[in-house]
Amino acid sequence: MKRSVKILSFLALSVILFWSLSNSPQKNTHYDRHQLSKPFPTSHQELITPIPETLNLNIQKVHLGELLFHDKNLSHNNTLSCASCHNLQKGGGDGLAQPVTASLQKINLPHHTVFNSPTIFNVGFNFVQGWEGKTKTLEQQTAIPLFNPFEMGNKNWSSILNYLNQIPHYKQQFQNIYASTMSSEQVIDVISEFSRSLTTPNSPFDLYLKGQLNSLTHYELEGYQLFKNRGCISCHHGVNIGGNLFQKAGIFAPIHPQNEYSPQLFKVPTLRNIALTAPYFHDGSVDSLKEAINLMAKHQLKLELPADENKKILAFLQTLTGQYQNQPLSHE
C-alpha cells in the first residue's frame, strides 16, 4: 500500500514537472518576428489577429533604448531625437504631413518624395520597414535617421559613441548589458529593442477578437463586416492590419499626383491606432480619415462608398486604438 502511494506521487510529480517545463517561457531574450507570422488562416479564423500581450524582450535593453530614443544629443546639432518625429503622445508619429526637416529636403532634392513620419507603434510586426520597405530589419532602419543629413545628421559613429561614453549612466548601463566596450551595434540593438517594445494591445477590436464580444457595438461590427466584404481586408490584414505586403497606391487610378519620381509600390501601412495618426498616406496629403477611406474605396477597390458605409467603416477603424503600458493611447 505504502509503496503504491509512493509510485503514484512520483508519477504525479513527474507529470507536474513535465508540464511546467513544457510551459516555461522561451529562453531566447530576443523577440522572434517569425513567431508572429501565422500560416494563411483557414476560413473559420479571422484574417486579423490580436496583438500579443507579452513579448520576449530584454528589459534592460528596452530601458536604455528608451533613454536614447528621447535623447536630442544624438543628433548633430542637439535638436532632434527619434521622438521628435515619432512622438509617443501623438500616436507614434509627429502629426505633421511631413517632418520638421522636410523643407531642407525640398531645397536639396526638389524632385524627391518627402515621406510622412509613420507611427513607431507596432513596428516590430512589419515585414519590412519604411513606406517603400527599403530596410529589411528594424536594426537597419534605426541606423538611417542617425546619419541622414535631413534627420539627425551625424557624420560618423565616433561622434555618437564619444557622447555616450561621456555620460556615466549610459556607459554603466551598456557595460551592464554587454560587458564589453560600447559599440555601434549595441546602440542600434538597444534602440531597436525599445522600438519592438512599443506595442499597443487590447484595443476594443482586439478584445472582441479575444472573445469579449460586447467590446464592439453593433454599429462598429457592421463596419468590420463592410471592411471585410468591401475588400479592405485583402490588403490590410494580419496582426498589424497591414505591414505584411507590398501594394500599389491606386490600383484602379492614381491616388496621388504622379511624376517620374513618384514611388509606385508601398508596404501596405498598418491601420492600428489609425484614428490618432493623421495626416494620412505616404505624403501626408489627406487630413481626414473619412476622406482616406473614400479614396481607398475608390482607387483600390473601384467603389463609391455610400456615406453610411463610410461612417461604419470609420467607426470600426476607431476601435483599433490600443493601449500602451496599460493606458489607452490618445492625443496629447
Q: Which residues make up the interface to ligand HEC (CB under 6 A)?
A: 80, 82, 84-86, 99, 101, 115, 117-118, 120, 123, 126, 129-131, 134, 138, 141-142, 145-146, 151-152, 191, 195, 230-232, 234-236, 247, 249, 251, 255-256, 266, 268-269, 271, 274, 277, 280-282, 289, 292-293, 296-297, 300-301, 313
Q: Minimum CB separation from ligand HEC for residue 118, in Å?
A: 4
Q: Which is nearer to ligand HEC, 51 or 120 (CB)?
A: 120
Q: Minimum CB separation from ligand HEC for residue 108, in Å?
A: 14
Q: Minimum CB separation from ligand HEC for residue 288, in Å?
A: 10
Q: Minimum CB separation from ligand HEC for residue 19, in Å?
A: 39
Cis check for the bond before 279: say yes or no (omega within 30 of 0). Answer: yes
C-alpha span between 268 and 52 (Å, rounded): 21
C-alpha span between 52 and 37 (Å, rounded): 12
Write b or e for each residue in 15-29: b if 16 or more Cβ atoms lie within 10 A of its Cβ, otherwise e. Answer: eeeeeeeeeeeeeee
Q: Which is nearer to ligand HEC, 61 or 236 (CB)?
A: 236
Are 251 and 299 in contact, with CB atoms under 8 Å apart? yes
Q: Minimum CB separation from ligand HEC for residue 283, in Å?
A: 7
Residue labelled with grid coordinates 536594426: 139
Q: Which is nearer to ligand HEC, 6 or 331 (CB)?
A: 331
Q: Which is nearer to ligand HEC, 206 or 283 (CB)?
A: 283
C-alpha span between 63 and 68 (Å, rounded): 9
Q: Minimum CB separation from ligand HEC for residue 260, in Å?
A: 17
| Sequence-separated (6 or more) residues with CB below 8 Å from residue 283 | 97, 98, 113, 114, 115, 116, 256
C-alpha span between 42 and 46 (Å, rounded): 8
Q: Is 151 a catalytic residue?
A: yes
Q: Which is nearer to ligand HEC, 22 or 260 (CB)?
A: 260
Gyration radius of the chain's alpha carbons: 23
Give residue 232's Cα distance to chain centre.
Answer: 19
Q: How many CA atoms lie within 13 A of 197 on its CB side?
A: 21
66, 151, 193, 220: the catalytic one is 151
Which of 106, 163, 19 lies closest to 283 in space, CA to CA?
106
Biggest CA-to-CA distance, the chain = 90
Q: Which is nearer to ligand HEC, 60 or 113 (CB)?
A: 113
Residue 310 identity: N
Catalytic residues: 151
